[in-house]
Structure 1
Amino acid sequence: MHAAMSTTEIFLLAMLIIFTIPYLIWRVGKTEYFAPLVVVQIITGILLGPGILGAIFPTYYQFVFNPNVIQLLTGIASWAVMIFVMIAGVELDLSKAWEYRREGSLTAALALGTPLLFGCAAAAVMLTYDGWVGPKGMTWQFILGIGMACAVTALPILILFMEKLDILRQPIGQRILRYASLDDIAIWGVLALILLDWTRVGRQVGFLLAFIVAAYVFRKIMIRLQERDRWYVMFIWLAACGFAADWAGLHFMVGAFLSGAVMDAKWFNQEKMDLLRNHVLLGIMPVFFLSTGLKTNWAVGGWAVFIAAGLLLVASVSGKLVGTQLAGKILQWEKGEASIIGWLLQTKALIMIIFVNILLDKNIITNETFTALLLMAVASTMLTVPMVAPKLQRMQALISKAK
C-alpha cells in the first residue's frame, strides 16, 4: 500500500495528522486554561518529531514525513509565518508608543534588557559544553541570539491571551501592548544585526536603502487605493519584501516584518484584520508548528536538553519579572501591577519560535539548542494564564487603570 501512495496522498495524510491530533488533545483534554490550541499544536509538533514519534516508529515516521512531504510542508509553513509576522508589523501602534514614550520606553527597555542579560548569562554557561553552537555560529551570535530568545514577547499570542482574560481593550491591556510593540521592533533589529553578513554587507545596505524608497512609494500608492485593493496589494508587497530581504541575506522573515511595519493599521478594517490573523492561525499555521516539531532533537545526550531548557526558562521568566519590577519601582506602580505585566510579557510561543527557527536555518544554533529553546517557549507560555488569572481577580481595579 505504501508503494502505491503518491506524494500528494502522503502529504494529505500528514495534513490529516497535523489537524486532527492536536484538536482532539485540546478538545478532549480541555486544556484551554493553561494551553490554548496554538500551544497544543506546538507540543503535538514536538511529539510528532524525530525525538519521540520518529524514535518509537521510525519506519512510519520516514514514510509519512519523507523529504518530498517535508518540502511541501516547509513551503506552506514559510508563507503562513510570513503573513503572521506581517500582521504583527501592521498592528504596531507607534503613535501611542510616542504619546507615552517615557513610561513605554523605560518599561520596554527593562522588560527586554533584563531577560536579555539573564539569557546571555545562560548562553555563556551552555558554551562551556559542546554541542550547542551551530557550525556557522560565532560566539557573539550564539550568546546574543540565546539572550534575545529569552527576552522575546510573542505579540500575537499575547493578544490572544489578553482577549481570553478580557483585558485586551482595557487600559492595562493597551499599556502592555505598547511595551510589547516596542520590544517587537528591538527583536527584529537584533535579528538583523545577528544575520549581518560582512561578505554581503553592500547588498544588505543596498536592500535597506532601496526598501526606504520602495516603502515611500508603496505608502503613496496604498493611500490612493480602495480598501478591497489594499488587501491584495498587501500580499504582493509581502512577497516582494520577503524575497528582497532573503536575497540580501537578512532572511525573508525580516522582510515580512518590515513589510507590515510600514503599513498603517487604519488602512484596513480592524475586524477583517483580526479575522485574517485568526484564519491564518486556524488554517495554515498548524503546518508551521508541525514542521517546527520535526526539527527537535535529543541527540546531545538525553537529559542535557531538558536541563538546558530549565536553565533558559529560569533566565527568561526571572529576567522578565525582575525587569518589570524595576520599572514598577521607578514609575511607582501599585503593588502587584509589575507582576501581572511581567508574566504577560514573558509569553513566548510563536515569535520566539520563528526567531530560533531562523537561527537554526542559518546554522547559528544546533538542533539540540533549538529543542531546548522550544521547550522553554512552550513552558513559559503555558505558565502565563494560570499565573495571571488569579492575580487579576484579586486586583480588578488595575484593569481599568490608565497610565
Structure 2
Amino acid sequence: MELSTLVTLLLDLTVIVVLARLLGALARRLKQPAVIGEILGGILLGPTLFHGGITAFLFPAEVRPSLTMLASIGVCVFMFLVGLEFDRDLLRGQGRIAAGVSLSAVVLPFSLGALLALHLVDDHPTGHRLAFVLFLGTAMSVTAFPVLARILTDKGLIDTPIGGLALAAAAVDDVLAWTMLAVVAALAGAGGAPWHVLLVLPYAAAMLWVVRPLLARLAERGAAAGRPTGWPADAGVLLAVAAGLLLSAQATEWMGLHLIFGAFLFGIVMPRQGASRLRAHALPRVERICSTLLLPVFFMVAGLKVDLSSMDATAFGELGLILLVAIGGKFVGAFLGARLNGVRPRHSVVLAVLINTRGLTELIVLTVGLQIGVLDQPLYSLMVVMALVTTGMAGILLPFVYPDERIRQDLAARDHAPHAPDPDGTATADDTSTLSRSRPPLPER
C-alpha cells in the first residue's frame, strides 16, 4: 500500500468514527438506539446525497478494499461476541412460551415475506429464484437480540417478566434466523464447490462435541493453574481465540456458507466456565475496538451500497409493501403467539412491538444477501430503510403501550410476590428473575 493511500485510509477511518459517535450520541438523545445514528451515518456517506459526490471524494477506489476487509473483520468479531454471550439460561422457566412466541413471530413474517418475494422477483432478477424467496422470508423474520437487550435496559424493562420473555423469544428467533440464512447461502452457492456444503453438519457437530469440551478442559486447567492476569498473559489467550475465530470463519466460507456462520459457531463453543480471565480482561478490549472502530466501518461500507437518490413511485410502493409485511407480519405473529400461550393483551402488544426490532442483525443479513447475489442494489436499499424504521419504532411506541407507571407496578408486584405466578400466566417471578438479569454485555446494536 502506497503512503498516500495509507494516509487517505487513516483520514477515512477518522471521519467514519467521528461521524458514528456524533450521530450515535444524537440518536441516544432522541431516546433511540445508537445503531440508528450509525447506520444513518453510513447512508449519508454513501451515494444517496449529491449523486455520490461525497463518496467519491472521501472514499477513492484504492482504499475501499481495505475498508471492506475491516468491515468483514468487524462483522466476524460481532458475530463471535453474539455467539459467546448467547445464554441458554434465557429459556429456563419459560422456554415453552418463548419458543411458541418466537415460532409464531418467525413463521408468519417468513410466509408473508416469501409471498412478497414472488411479487417482486420479476422486477428484481436474481440468479436463484428459490434462494430469493427464502431469503426475503428470512429477512422479514429477523429480531436483533443485542438491540432489544439495550432497549429493555434503557426503558427499565430488563427486570420485568415481559422483558425476560422478550429476550428469550429473541434468542430463539436469532437461532432460527441464522439457520435459515445458512440454508439460503448454501442454495445460492455463496462459495466453494457444491459438495462442500455437505460438510457443514459434521463440522458443526465436531465443533459442539469435540472442540467445545476440549476448550472447556483447557480453560479449566488454566484457571486451576492460577496463571497471572494482565495484558501479556491475556494477549496470548486473545491471539489463540483470534486464530480459532478466523479458522472457523474461513472453514464455513470454504464450505459455501458465509464467514459469519463460522464466527458465530466459534462463539457458541467457547467455554462459559473456567474462562473468566478471558472475559474479564481480554474481551472488553475486543468489544471496545469492535464497537468504536470496526462496526462503524461496516456501517459505512453498507451505506456505500444504499442509493435512495433515484426512488420513484414504484420504489415507494415497494417500500410500503416491505414495511407492511415486515411490521405487520412480525407484530401479528408475536401477538398471536403470546395470546395463545396465555399472555394477556397489553403484554402481548408490548412483546409484539419489541420483537419487531431489527438493528444490526438485519443489516448483516442484508449484506450477506447482497454479497451472495440474492439481493440487487435497489431492493437492498429499500430493505435497509425498513431496518431503520423497525429499529426506531420500538422507542416511539413503547411509552404508549407500556407507560412508566405500568412498569413500576409490574416491578413492585414481582418484588413483593417472588414465588407467586405472574398475573399474565407467562411465568413465575422466580423463573423470570433469571431471565431478566441475563442481558449480554454486547455493543448496543
Name the TM-score, length of structure 1 as normaliser: 0.88
Map of 2:48 onto structure 1: 51
The one-letter code matched in structure 2 to 1:386 is I
Report if the CA contact (8 A) 1:33-1:386 is conserved. no
Distance in 1 separating the partners of 2:94 and 2:42: 40
Question: Among 262, 265, 271, which residue is 1:255 paired with?
Answer: 262
Map of 1:154 onto structure 2: 144
- Could you tell me how far 1:391 is from its partner in structure 2? 2.8
Distance in 2 separating the partners of 1:277 and 1:154: 17
- Could you tell me how far 1:235 is from its partner in structure 2? 2.2
The one-letter code matched in structure 2 to 1:251 is H
- Could you tell me how far 1:264 is from its partner in structure 2? 4.2
Cα–Cα, structure 1 residues 211 and 109, in superposed 2: closer, same or farther, change >3 Å?
Answer: closer
- Could you tell me how far 1:64 is from its partner in structure 2? 2.3
Question: Among 162, 168, 186, which residue is 1:178 paired with?
Answer: 168
Map of 2:440 onto structure 1: none
Map of 2:332 onto structure 1: 322
Cα–Cα, structure 1 residues 213 and 332, in superposed 2: closer, same or farther, change >3 Å?
Answer: closer
Question: Among 81, 97, 101, which residue is 1:103 paired with?
Answer: 97
Name the TM-score, length of structure 2 as normaliser: 0.80
Report if the CA contact (8 A) 2:27-2:36 is conserved. no
- Could you tell me how far 1:268 is from its partner in structure 2? 4.5
Tell me how large the CA RMSD over aligned residues is: 2.6
Does residue 395 of the first structure (1) align with residue 395 of the second (2)? Answer: no
Question: Among 148, 160, 163, which residue is 2:153 paired with?
Answer: 163
Identity of aligned residues (%): 23
Distance in 1 separating the partners of 2:390 and 2:300: 19
The one-letter code matched in structure 2 to 1:91 is E
- Could you tell me how far 1:294 is from its partner in structure 2? 0.4
Cα–Cα, structure 1 residues 277 and 312, in superposed 2: closer, same or farther, change >3 Å?
Answer: farther
Distance in 1 separating the partners of 2:313 and 2:300: 23
Cα–Cα, structure 1 residues 265 and 378, in superposed 2: closer, same or farther, change >3 Å?
Answer: farther
The one-letter code matched in structure 2 to 1:174 is G
Question: Among 392, 396, 411, which residue is 1:386 paired with?
Answer: 396
Note the alpha carbon deviations across 1:2-52, whole angstroms, 9 max, x for none: xx981111112211221223433454x565334332211101111111122
Note the alpha carbon deviations across 1:231-273, whole angstroms, 9 max, x for none: 4433222111100000111110111121122234445546665
Distance in 1 separating the partners of 2:119 and 2:299: 29
Report if the CA contact (8 A) 2:339-2:345 is conserved. no
The one-letter code matched in structure 2 to 1:52 is L
Does residue 120 of the first structure (1) align with residue 104 of the second (2)? Answer: no
- Could you tell me how far 1:378 is from its partner in structure 2? 0.4
Distance in 2 separating the partners of 1:196 and 1:348: 23
- Could you tell me how far 1:303 is from its partner in structure 2? 4.3
Question: Among 341, 356, 359, which residue is 1:331 paired with?
Answer: 341
Map of 1:213 onto structure 2: 206
- Could you tell me how far 1:314 is from its partner in structure 2? 1.5
1:74-89 aligned at under 5 Å gives the runs: 74-89=68-83
- Could you tell me how far 1:151 is from its partner in structure 2? 1.1
Does residue 356 of the first structure (1) align with residue 353 of the second (2)? Answer: no
Q: Which runs of 5+ in 1 are unaligned?
A: none
Moved more, 248-257 or 322-331: 322-331
Moved more, 277-286 or 319-328: 277-286
1:257-336 aligned at under 5 Å gives the runs: 257-269=264-276, 276-277=286-287, 279-298=289-308, 302-336=312-346
Distance in 1 separating the partners of 2:318 and 2:339: 31
- Could you tell me how far 1:62 is from its partner in structure 2? 2.0
Report if the CA contact (8 A) 1:46-1:290 is conserved. yes
Question: Among 158, 161, 178, which residue is 1:188 paired with?
Answer: 178
Distance in 1 separating the partners of 2:321 and 2:365: 19
Distance in 2 separating the partners of 1:277 and 1:52: 32
Map of 1:133 onto structure 2: 125
- Could you tell me how far 1:274 is from its partner in structure 2? 6.6
- Could you tell me how far 1:279 is from its partner in structure 2? 4.6
Report if the CA contact (8 A) 1:299-1:368 is conserved. no
The one-letter code matched in structure 2 to 1:103 is I
Query: Runs of 4 or more off by more than 6 Å in structure 1?
Result: none
Report if the CA contact (8 A) 1:77-1:285 is conserved. yes
Cα–Cα, structure 1 residues 329 and 173, in superposed 2: closer, same or farther, change >3 Å?
Answer: closer
Moved more, 290-299 or 210-219: 210-219
Residue correspondences, number: 392
Distance in 1 separating the partners of 2:125 and 2:134: 12
